[in-house]
């Protein structure tokens, strides 16, 4: 990224840095899709097949979820996603596509 800045270019970011976005608000659409499938108790190979991704890509998304949500297990990911859906009148971001 430093090289891009030195050349006067702005690096592309998939999520915004800072801005007060916490946990769920910082997730990309693909990370939310993976999180929903984790809630459904899908394995990484099952998620990969459903989303037409490699297993390694799914592993990267899961690692990103752990980091962004501040959790260390798939069970904790599921809890965060399920709690976010509770009491929301507009669960659009968490609804399956």
DSSP code for 23: G
| CA 66 to mean position of chain CA atoms | 9
Q: What is the pLDDT of residue 7?
A: 75
3-state class (DSSP) for residue 19: coil
User: In this structure, what are the phi and psi dihedrals at residue 10, rounded to the nearest 5 degrees?
Assistant: -100, 130
Q: Which two tokens stand for residue 92?
A: 């659009």
pLDDT tens digits in sequence order for the chain, 97 residues long: 677 667 777 655 555 444 445 678 889 999 999 999 999 999 999 999 999 999 999 999 999 999 999 999 999 999 999 998 865 544 445 545 5
Hey, which CATH number is domain 18-94, 3.40.50.300, 1.10.10.10, 3.40.1190.20, 3.40.50.620?
1.10.10.10
pTM of the model: 0.69
DSSP code for 27: -
Q: What is the pLDDT of residue 92?
A: 44
What's the rounded Cα separation, in Å, for the pair 10 and 50? Answer: 34
Domain ranges of the chain: 18-94
Q: What is the pLDDT of residue 8?
A: 72
């Amino acid at each position: 990224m430093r090289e891009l800045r030195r050349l006067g270019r702005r690096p592309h970011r998939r999520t915004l840095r800072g801005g007060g976005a916490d946990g769920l608000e910082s997730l990309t659409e693909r990370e939310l899709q993976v999180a929903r499938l984790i809630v459904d108790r899908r394995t990484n190979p099952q998620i990969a097949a459903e989303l037409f991704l490699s297993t390694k890509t799914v592993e990267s998304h899961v690692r990103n979820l752990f980091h962004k949500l501040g959790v260390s297990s798939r069970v904790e990911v599921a809890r965060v996603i399920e709690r976010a859906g509770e009491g929301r009148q507009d669960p659009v971001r968490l609804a399956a596509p």
